[in-house]
Amino acid sequence: MSYEVFARKYRPQTFDDLVGQAHVSRTLKNAVAQNRLAHAYLFVGPRGIGKTSTARILAKALNCVKGPTVNPDNTCDNCREIAAGNSLDVLEIDGASNNGVEQVRELRENVRYAPSKSRYKIYIIDEVHMLTAAAFNALLKTLEEPPPHVKFIFATTEPQKVLPTIVSRCQRFDLHRIPAKLIADHLQFIAGKEKITLEPSAAHAIARGAEGGLRDAESMLDQLVAFCGEKISEADVLNVFGFTSEQTVVDLTGKILRGETVAALDVLYEQCEAGKDMMRLMSDLISYFRDLLVFKAKPDAIKEDVDPELQKALAAQADLIENERLLELIDQFAQAEGRMKWAPNKKLHFEVAIIRAIQVLGQATLDEVIEKLGELRDEKTTTEKKTLSAALENSSVVAAVPAASRVARVAEAPNGDVDVEQIWQRVYARIPNTKAFVRNSAAAAHVLPSEGRHFVLGFSRDQKSPMDILGTPTNRKLIESLLQEVSGRDWTLKLMVRDDLSSKQNESEDYADNPLIREALEIFKGEIKH
């Protein structure tokens, strides 16, 4: 008997065998069980995730001698013929080589004839996006009103190329990339069946390299068995396919985040001399930055894709960088990856990307520059104001005021609504003197009626700069915390420009001419250029 590759030998035969596509298998099983069958289906997704396999399983579920059934027996003639691809009533058509209008017209003529021995005549058209526009148009009427004994199942990797008039006549199912953990588990299942010793780290390395495609992972395992025999280690996977180990990517990331330029470049050179694929290493680095970003936002979101050891590394590095900086790094390395695709010297662009990333991490942001300049400018003024405030607090005038009247409370208008004007006055009074730019920006704001949980501030058309200052993440967080402190309610700050508002030039500085802001912007722009 001839050898059968893993991708064919372990092809899913039932809905329960599908890996990582529970949302699709559940819907199709319910449709079959309830006899709510559409006349046309469209399976969408990247290569190797089970589109054609799902189509065959659906065909078996419909044409099994015990069917329609959600559990085809896989032993009857119909099921065995469909699995082998030689059923007379289940026709698999390659859309790439049968994409002309003549082939579609022939198909349209044949759909009139009843199936030879099955319940349905089923047409499975793979890569349906390859059909020409004329072929699509020739199929439209038949696809909309096919004979009751005909079902169409389409599969494509590029749904955007399928005519909307075709898509609208189908039930669409989007198959997802399969999480690395599920792929690794399936590879271990195959290894057990084949009496192969597959190290867990090796299985995960294959899963990472497959990028969500189970068929690719099975093919890689097949190749590794031919190369290594019955025992496969992570080193074998890395050597055969030119991958970089996860630990190397973690080490490179750590050196970049800590600003260790020489050490980071040394890692790059070691990988280059070892013959590793630079494009693959860049892709792995960007993926790791993505994992780090998601981990910082929601640690549980990547449990399916990341093994426990890598999660520990992510936790250790999460505090080394802020989200804004991490987004900058991802954008920067993504741009470098785009340049590397067409560059003969890929290592050069990788080196430049690493050096530039470390320089960017060492630069101050615009918010930090503005805040620091404000602190320097107001250092002396703050001391004087504190002295004056202490003197007034101890004066007989303040002492004569009843203490109860000085307690901050949420003011209410006569109709029971919150008095946003009074709340804003109290918030403004609590803005630290060291936050000079925040105070000046707040002074330019007009308090508008609140919108639910939104505390609304308006600005005139020529006061957009103060609004931008208040809108930075740091300053917005400060204002929202003060609003909560003063009013006892959780507010979300909403900023808007309105033409009907007048400029508060007498109460705030002109931001367009403010020398400190000009200086801060110049410093920030200078750092970006260098």
Read off the pLDDT of residues 311-328 as tens digits, 9 standing for 90 and up: 888 988 988 888 888 998
The pLDDT value recorded for residue 368 is 61
Decide: helix, strand or coil at residue 456.
strand
Q: How confident is the model at residue 144 (pLDDT cuts 50, 70, 90)?
A: confident
More confident residue, 417 or 199: 199
Q: How confident is the model at residue 380 (pLDDT cuts 50, 70, 90)?
A: low
Strand order in the sheet with 446-447: 446-447, 454-459, 492-497
More confident residue, 267 or 386: 267
pTM: 0.65
- Domains detected in the chain: 6-174 (3.40.50.300), 180-241 (1.10.8.60), 246-361 (1.20.272.10), 368-386+408-519 (3.30.300.180)
For residue 357, what are the contacts with CB-CB under 8 A and spacing of at least 6? Answer: 256, 329, 332, 333
Pairing of strands 121-126, 171-174: unpaired
Q: How confident is the model at residue 197 (pLDDT cuts 50, 70, 90)?
A: very high
Residues pairing with 273 in the sheet: none
Which range is least confidently modeled, 131-145, 199-213, 397-411, 435-449? 397-411
pLDDT above 60 (res 1): no
For residue 490, what are the contacts with CB-CB under 8 A and spacing of at least 6? Answer: 453, 484
Q: How many helices (H) and strands (E) does the chain have?
A: 24, 10
The pLDDT value recorded for residue 155 is 94
The rounded percent of the chain whose pLDDT value lies above 70 is 84
For 496, the enclosing helix (H) or strand (E) is strand 492-497
CB of 441 closer than 8 Å to CB of 466:
yes
The pLDDT value recorded for residue 493 is 92
The pLDDT value recorded for residue 378 is 60
For residue 44, what are the contacts with CB-CB under 8 A and spacing of at least 6? Answer: 51, 155, 156, 157, 159, 172, 173, 174, 175
Beta strands in 341-491 (DSSP E): 446-447, 454-459
The pLDDT value recorded for residue 171 is 94
Q: Which one-letter DSSP state was computed for residue 37?
A: -
Q: How confident is the model at residue 365 (pLDDT cuts 50, 70, 90)?
A: low
pLDDT above 80 (res 375): no
Question: How much is the average pLDDT of 500-508?
Answer: 62
Task: Give per-residue pLDDT as tens, 14-34.
Answer: 999 999 999 999 999 999 999
pLDDT above 70 (res 310): yes
Q: How confident is the model at residue 523 (pLDDT cuts 50, 70, 90)?
A: low
Task: Give per-residue pLDDT as tens, 436-450.
Answer: 778 888 888 999 998
More confident residue, 380 or 46: 46
Which range is least confidently modeled, 32-46, 194-208, 251-265, 452-466? 452-466
pLDDT above 90 (res 175): yes
Would the CA dihedral through 471, 475, 481, 483 be positive or negative? negative
The pLDDT value recorded for residue 211 is 86
Q: How confident is the model at residue 411 (pLDDT cuts 50, 70, 90)?
A: very low
Task: Give per-residue pLDDT as tens, 50-102.
Answer: 999 999 999 999 999 987 999 999 899 999 999 988 899 999 988 888 778 88
Q: How confident is the model at residue 122 (pLDDT cuts 50, 70, 90)?
A: very high
Give the C-alpha distances (Å, rounded to integers) separating 292 from 245, 309, 315, 441, 451.
17, 14, 8, 34, 36
pLDDT above 70 (res 383): no
User: Which structure tokens are listed for 304?
Assistant: 């399916």
Residues pairing with 171 in the sheet: 41
Distance CA 476, CA 492 (A): 9
In the predicted model, what is the mean pLDDT of the chain?
84
Q: How confident is the model at residue 508 (pLDDT cuts 50, 70, 90)?
A: very low
The pLDDT value recorded for residue 386 is 63
User: Which structure tokens are listed for 472?
Assistant: 């930075």
The pLDDT value recorded for residue 529 is 46
The pLDDT value recorded for residue 370 is 65
The pLDDT value recorded for residue 432 is 85
The pLDDT value recorded for residue 391 is 53
